[in-house]
Amino acid sequence: MLVSLYRFKNKFTRKLIYRYLVKYDGGEMWSKKLRQIYKKYYNIEIGIGTYGYNFGGFPAGTQIGKYCSLASYITVINVNHTMTTITTHPYLFNPVVGFIKSDFRTKTKLSIGNDVWIGQNTIILPKVSKIGNGAIIGAGSVVTKNVEPYSIVAGNPANLIGYRFDRETIMKLEEIKWWDFELDYIKNNLNKFYDVSTFIAEIKNE
């Protein structure tokens, strides 16, 4: 019912629905109905456990994995002005200006992995199509290229600071894919998630 009502493009109504679902349907992290709304009306896929996202920052076609932590004011720019044409002015490519009927530019579709943390005021530019699982992007970064799994990047432009774990550990975590575990299992085994070596060893023994 609420998902259907969201089709009415009334800011007040949409805000009420959003607030209701946040309060009574598990909040941003767990609400299935909020995820249905993002998918149906914004063409944005958001995995369970992910929180902090906002409509304005992510363009249609974006895929966001599970258990991501997304700070405020993240901007994803999925297409640039043309640079090889006589002018960079949008009358050449933006139908809103009224000179042309359709935009000929190719827009990037961004895929954000699982367990990704993106800091406040991050800008993600059109050349970025993938942010790997477990990656961390520091606040205020300008990301100009794809981000590897479990890497830490920051700055303008964002540069590699390091990795959260060694290569062998990263490979094992990618293989285990803990984000696909049942939620009840995670709740009942939180003690395993505090130390990566213990986690990997115990999971492999199960």
- Residues with active-site annotation: 81
For residue 96, list its beta bridge partners. none
Helices (H) and strands (E) in the chain, counts: 7, 12
Among 79, 74, 80, 63, smallest CA distance to 131 is for: 63
Q: If 0-12 CB within 10 Å is exposed, 13-18 middle and 19+ buried, where does residue 180 land?
A: exposed
- Triad 108, 161, 107: Cα angle to 5°: 5
How far apart, in whole angstroms, are the C-alpha atoms of residue 113 and residue 167? 18
